[in-house]
């Protein structure tokens, strides 16, 4: 098929419109650059697609989901905790977008193809990193050193937090720097009780704070405060949580310099004489092939998708994939290990309950290997969780019939406090994705083969999560304490990252200290692929800060005619 | 740019309503849908049994909110053929349910509940599960005894409560 070439009418092309692509679109257009955003999926109309206020009795399957259609088209996506009968529309189709793994090493790759990408369905927990994290690889002799430190990123965390709106509580912890917060969401009475009892027992070693979450508690730039309806993964008509469609893309649009092209499935990046000159796409509706050209390209397609695009963009100079002279593209796949923690009942407060659905929980920042050193593992984990009263859904198998059963089902049960860990994953070259040339997606592009496993360090962390959660629950006087410990399938935290890492040395890393490819001076990559280590915090805030910083670096370089 | 191609520029956010409101009711409620799996007598039997499992008190019962329509939809569109047949194969145990006295109806259900206890795959466990799920997701239960709708529009983590 003939490829239609266009003159470099754009200053910049951004691949992807998710959480980092949206930020790149905002920053680049505000910096005066005519920017084309290529998005593989469809447009989203908030008025039509935001379905967060549909009550269960108006759902065909009453919240149980369209089981037949889901098993047929989304058998992987349905494993996400945010996948439900209505949010299903925001997850990708597994039949059109397959991938492969070894039979004994599964990987859950959660994906979203639409304008806004996964920013529509993300968990919205936002935590800064500190130098405990940026110095970790150097200190431990693991992989390669980060080429940046907290001081490099701190002003960009400020920049991002001020725009997205983060509600949270300042705590003054070195391992979890405070940010520019809107007023925190409230804890319920039992969470506040547990916080106080933990303070008595653990002092400032183990701190319980309300989650720092990208949901507004105050108006911001025409966006309304959260009204506590609950299911953010179904969209938000009041734009109260941060997403590309709620915040960054409208600002980019307002500059008059944004061109947003949905239905644009990237085939490859075009390389010519030392530079990336354009992006080749398929129109997913017409199947026509197009090529767009620009002075600089930002790859923001998500960690694994960006690696796939690079691996598939081969040339005489880069036979193993664009910007892959180091051989590191696709390697060092990481995700946070979860699936361990504990829950327990807290006596009392039977005359109290929760009104409204807070889209947020509590957080216990990392306390392992902070100040003290453990012998059984390096790094650490944070706990997410919360307290709530058990309702009828916990008693679906209750015995009996009649008035007594109805009374039993309607009444709220005791308060339950739960903690679940998110543990750091070490970067290892053996955890990698490669092109599976024997399998193609709906557009004929080879898919990824993802081959990963947890290392002993992650499993040791995981074991400690349950023990530490039990210890906390015992300390606060909980009863009926139930630990759980089932290592998650990698990918399940939806924090996949590391496949084109930043580093100081072009021989051992893909990107430099400003997310620019060592090998290709006008190519930037700012999604989770750039991560040199995983930290223990939810990563999106760091992705956004790195993106904004890289955009300013690129604009400066273009002004200086370095690009 | 190649002018022969029209780039589809979209406004990412349409004009927003001033305040939050309910999304369009694009999804059909279950009421008034003709049964597809259950015949009239089976529907009536499930309706009556559901009303005994979750009876009317100060709020409606499961038969009053027609959970048999939810059961029919689940049998038609959600369960596997084997699961559907398991439930249908059990239903004849309630063949004389509609003609039985109130006391006899209760005794039949208590016996089945005991027989199915601890057996989630038992046909009566399926029926009871659907009755509970269908009732507590109904508009009557969600707005009535559960008090979840209309949405409160705020959060109170320590509101007073009496069972």
What confidence tier does B31 reach under pLDDT thresholds 50, 70, 90?
Answer: very low
List the single residue in B with minimal CA-CA distance to A361: B157
Please tell me the least confidently modeled range out of A404-408, B35-39, B138-142.
B35-39
Burial A519-530, CB ≥16 within 10 A → b, else e: bbbbbbbbbbbb
The pTM is what?
0.94
Decide if A405 touches B, using CB distance below 8 A: yes
pLDDT at A158 over 70: yes
Decide if A394 touches B, using CB distance below 8 A: no
Residue A1 DSSP label: -
pLDDT at B6 over 50: no
Inter-chain Cβ pairs, chain A and chain B, closer than 8 A:
205
pLDDT at A223 over 70: yes
Among A265, A167, A157, A245, which residue's Cα sits nearest to residue A209? A167
Cβ distance of B55 and A228 shorter than 8 Å:
no
pLDDT at B29 over 70: no
The tally of CA atoms less than 13 A away on the side-chain side of residue A195 is: 21
Q: Which of A54, A356, A410 sits opposite B23 (nearest CB)?
A: A54
Which A-chain residues 217-246 have CB contacts (< 8 A) with chain B? 224, 227-229, 237-239, 244-246
Cβ distance of A239 and B151 shorter than 8 Å:
no
**How big is chain B by its Cα radius of gyration, in Å?**
22
Shortest CA gap A189–chain B (Å): 5
Residue A499: its pLDDT value, please? Answer: 98
pLDDT tens for B121-152 read 999 999 999 999 999 999 999 999 999 999 99
pLDDT at B21 over 60: no
Burial class (CB in 10 A: 0-12, 13-18, 19+), A7: exposed
pLDDT tens for A317-331 read 999 999 999 999 999
pLDDT at B32 over 70: no
Cβ distance of B158 and A262 shorter than 8 Å:
no
Percent of chain A with pLDDT over 70: 99
Residue A49: its pLDDT value, please? Answer: 87
What confidence tier does B33 reach under pLDDT thresholds 50, 70, 90?
Answer: low
Cβ distance of B23 and A50 shorter than 8 Å:
yes
What confidence tier does A400 reach under pLDDT thresholds 50, 70, 90?
Answer: very high
Decide if B103 touches A, using CB distance below 8 A: no
Residue A4: its pLDDT value, please? Answer: 59
Residues in A closer than 8 angstroms to B70, CB to CB, are: 62
Residue A404: its pLDDT value, please? Answer: 98
Which B-chain residues 62-81 have CB contacts (< 8 A) with chain A? 70, 73-74, 77-78
Token pair listed for B76: 């038609």
Decide if B31 touches A, using CB distance below 8 A: no
Decide if A300 touches B, using CB distance below 8 A: no
- Arithmetic mean of pLDDT, A300-323: 98
List the single residue in A with minimal CA-CA distance to B126: A397
Please tell me the least confidently modeled range out of A45-59, A296-310, B46-60.
A45-59
Cβ distance of B142 and A56 shorter than 8 Å:
yes
pLDDT at B2 over 50: no
pLDDT at A157 over 50: yes
pLDDT at A289 over 50: yes
Strand partners, A209: A363
- Arithmetic mean of pLDDT, A297-312: 98
Residue A50: its pLDDT value, please? Answer: 86
Residue B34: its pLDDT value, please? Answer: 76
pLDDT tens for A201-210 read 999 999 999 9
Separation of alpha carbons A491 and A505, rounded Å: 28
Residue A5: its pLDDT value, please? Answer: 59
Measured at the CA of B154, the angle between CA A364 and CA A236, to 5 degrees, comes to 85
User: Which is higher by pLDDT, A388 or B22?
Assistant: A388
Separation of alpha carbons A2 and A51, rounded Å: 41
pLDDT at B24 over 50: no
Cβ distance of B10 and A260 shorter than 8 Å:
yes
Token pair listed for A444: 């004929």
Can you list the pairs that B27-30 forms with residues at least 24 positions away whose Cβ atoms lie under 8 Å? B27/A54, B27/A58, B27/A59, B27/A60, B28/A58, B28/A60, B29/A57, B29/A58, B30/A57, B30/A60, B30/B66, B30/B69, B30/B70, B30/B73
| Cis peptide preceding B34, ω within 30 of 0 | no
- Arithmetic mean of pLDDT, B95-111: 98
Taking all residues of chain A, what is their mean pLDDT, rounded to a whole number? Answer: 97
Residues in B closer than 8 angstroms to A48, CB to CB, are: 24
Chosen from B5, B6, B12, B116 to mutate, greatest number of chain A CBs within 10 A: B12
Among A40, A11, A35, which residue's Cα sits nearest to residue A24? A35
Burial A37-51, CB ≥16 within 10 A → b, else e: bbbbbbbbbbeebbb
Cβ distance of B161 and A54 shorter than 8 Å:
no
Which B-chain residues 118-157 have CB contacts (< 8 A) with chain A? 120, 125, 128-129, 132-134, 136-139, 142, 145-146, 149, 151-157
Which B-chain residues 82-101 have CB contacts (< 8 A) with chain A? none
- Arithmetic mean of pLDDT, A526-554: 98
List the single residue in A with minimal CA-CA distance to B134: A62
Shortest CA gap B91–chain A (Å): 17
Q: Which of A47, A245, A412 sits opposite B12 (nearest CB)?
A: A245
- Backbone angles phi and psi of A144, in degrees to 5: -125, 160
Residue A12 Cα to chain centre, angstroms: 24
Decide if A52 touches B, using CB distance below 8 A: yes
Residue A73: its pLDDT value, please? Answer: 98
What confidence tier does A423 reach under pLDDT thresholds 50, 70, 90?
Answer: very high
What confidence tier does B5 reach under pLDDT thresholds 50, 70, 90?
Answer: very low
Residues in A closer than 8 angstroms to B133, CB to CB, are: 62, 64, 396
Residue A234: its pLDDT value, please? Answer: 96
What confidence tier does B35 reach under pLDDT thresholds 50, 70, 90?
Answer: confident
Taking all residues of chain B, what is their mean pLDDT, rounded to a whole number? Answer: 84
pLDDT tens for A36-70 read 999 999 999 877 888 999 999 999 999 999 999 99
What confidence tier does B51 reach under pLDDT thresholds 50, 70, 90?
Answer: very high
Separation of alpha carbons A323 and A518, rounded Å: 7
Residue B38: its pLDDT value, please? Answer: 97
DSSP string, chain B: --TTS------SS-PPPSS--PPP--SPPSTTPPPSSS-HHHHHHHHHHHHHHS--SSS--TTTTTHHHHHHHHHHHTS-HHHHHHHHHHGGGGTTTTTS-HHHHHHHHHHHHHHHTT-TTSHHHHHHHHHHHHHHTSHHHHHTTS---S--SS-EEEEE---
Residue A106: its pLDDT value, please? Answer: 98
Residue A47: its pLDDT value, please? Answer: 78
Residues in B closer than 8 angstroms to A50, CB to CB, are: 23
Can you list the pairs that B7-11 forms with residues at least 24 positions away whose Cβ atoms lie under 8 Å? B7/A259, B7/A261, B8/A43, B8/A261, B8/A262, B8/A263, B9/A258, B9/A259, B9/A260, B9/A261, B10/A43, B10/A115, B10/A260, B10/A262, B11/A253
Q: Which of A63, A261, A356 sits opposite B156 (nearest CB)?
A: A356
Residue A45: its pLDDT value, please? Answer: 85
pLDDT at A89 over 80: yes
Separation of alpha carbons A274 and A283, rounded Å: 27
Backbone φ/ψ region at A221: left (φ over 0), alpha (ψ -120 to 50), beta: left
Cβ distance of A66 and B77 shorter than 8 Å:
yes
Residue B4: its pLDDT value, please? Answer: 35
Residue B30: its pLDDT value, please? Answer: 39
Residue A2: its pLDDT value, please? Answer: 53
Among A522, A19, A539, A496, which residue's Cα sits nearest to residue A244? A19
Helix (H, G, I), strand (E, B) or coil at A494: coil
């Amino acid at each position: 098929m003939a490829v239609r070439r266009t003159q470099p009418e754009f200053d910049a092309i951004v691949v992807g419109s998710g959480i980092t692509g949206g930020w790149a679109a905002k920053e680049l257009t505000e910096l005066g650059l005519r920017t084309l955003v290529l998005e593989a999926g469809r447009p989203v109309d908030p008025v039509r697609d935001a379905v967060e206020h549909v009550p269960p009795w108006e759902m065909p399957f009453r919240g149980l989901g369209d089981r037949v259609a889901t098993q047929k088209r989304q058998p992987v996506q349905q494993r996400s905790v945010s996948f439900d009968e209505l949010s299903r529309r925001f997850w990708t189709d597994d039949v059109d977008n397959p991938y492969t793994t070894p039979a004994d090493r599964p990987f859950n790759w959660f994906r979203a193809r639409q304008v806004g990408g996964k920013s529509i369905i993300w968990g919205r927990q936002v935590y800064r990193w500190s130098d405990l994290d940026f110095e970790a690889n150097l200190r431990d002799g693991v992989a390669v050193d980060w080429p940046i430190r907290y001081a490099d990123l701190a002003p960009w965390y400020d920049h991002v937090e001020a725009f997205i709106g983060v509600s949270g509580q300042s705590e003054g912890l070195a391992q979890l720097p405070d940010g520019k917060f809107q007023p925190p969401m409230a804890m319920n009475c039992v969470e506040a009780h547990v916080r106080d009892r933990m303070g008595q027992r653990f002092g400032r070693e183990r701190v319980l704070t309300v989650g720092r979450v990208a949901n507004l508690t105050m108006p911001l730039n025409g966006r309304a405060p959260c009204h506590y309806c609950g299911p953010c993964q179904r969209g938000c008509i009041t734009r109260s949580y941060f997403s590309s469609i709620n915040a960054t893309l409208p600002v980019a649009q307002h500059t008059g310099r944004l061109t947003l092209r949905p239905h644009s499935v990237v085939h490859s990046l075009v390389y010519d004489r030392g530079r990336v000159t354009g992006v080749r796409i398929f129109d997913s509706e017409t199947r026509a092939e197009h090529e767009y050209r620009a002075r600089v390209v930002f790859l923001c397609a998500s960690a694994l998708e960006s690696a796939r695009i690079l691996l598939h963009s081969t040339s005489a100079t880069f036979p193993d994939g664009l910007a892959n002279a180091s051989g590191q593209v696709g390697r060092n796949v990481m995700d946070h290990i979860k699936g361990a923690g504990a829950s327990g009942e807290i006596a009392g407060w039977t005359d109290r309950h929760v009104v409204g659905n807070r889209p947020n929980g509590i957080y216990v920042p990392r306390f392992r290997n902070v100040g003290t050193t453990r012998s059984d593992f390096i790094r650490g984990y944070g706990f997410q969780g919360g307290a709530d009263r058990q309702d009828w859904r916990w008693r679906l198998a209750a015995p009996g019939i009649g008035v007594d059963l109805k009374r039993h089902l309607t009444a709220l049960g005791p308060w339950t406090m739960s903690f679940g860990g998110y543990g750091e994953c070490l970067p290892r070259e053996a955890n990698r994705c490669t092109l599976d040339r024997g399998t193609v997606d709906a557009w004929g592009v080879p898919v990824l083969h993802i081959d990963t496993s947890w290392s002993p360090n992650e499993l040791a962390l995981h074991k400690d999560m349950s023990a530490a959660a039990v210890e906390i629950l015992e300390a606060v006087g909980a009863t009926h304490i139930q630990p759980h410990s089932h290592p998650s399938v990698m990918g399940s935290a939806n924090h996949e990252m590391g496949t084109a890492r930043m580093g100081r040395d072009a021989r051992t890393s893909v990107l430099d200290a400003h997310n620019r490819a060592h090998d290709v001076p006008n190519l930037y990559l700012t999604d989770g692929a750039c991560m040199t280590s995983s930290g223990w915090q939810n990563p999106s805030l760091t992705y956004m800060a790195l993106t904004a910083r890289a955009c300013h670096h690129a604009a400066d370089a273009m002004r200086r005619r370095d690009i | 740019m190649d002018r022969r191609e029209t780039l589809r520029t979209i406004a990412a956010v349409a004009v927003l309503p001033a305040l939050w409101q309910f999304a369009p009711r694009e999804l059909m409620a279950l009421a008034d849908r003709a049964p597809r799996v259950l015949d009239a007598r089976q529907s009536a039997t499930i309706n009556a049994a559901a009303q005994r499992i979750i009876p009317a008190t100060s709020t409606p019962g499961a038969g009053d909110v027609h959970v048999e329509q939810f059961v029919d939809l689940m049998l038609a569109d959600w369960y596997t053929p084997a699961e559907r047949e398991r439930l249908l194969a059990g239903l004849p145990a309630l063949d004389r349910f509609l003609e039985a006295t109130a006391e006899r109806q209760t005794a039949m259900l208590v016996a089945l509940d005991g027989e199915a206890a601890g057996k989630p795959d038992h046909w009566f466990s399926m029926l009871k599960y659907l009755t509970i799920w269908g009732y507590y997701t109904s508009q009557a239960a969600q707005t009535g005894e559960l008090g979840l709708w209309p949405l409160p529009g705020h959060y109170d983590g320590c509101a007073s409560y009496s069972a």
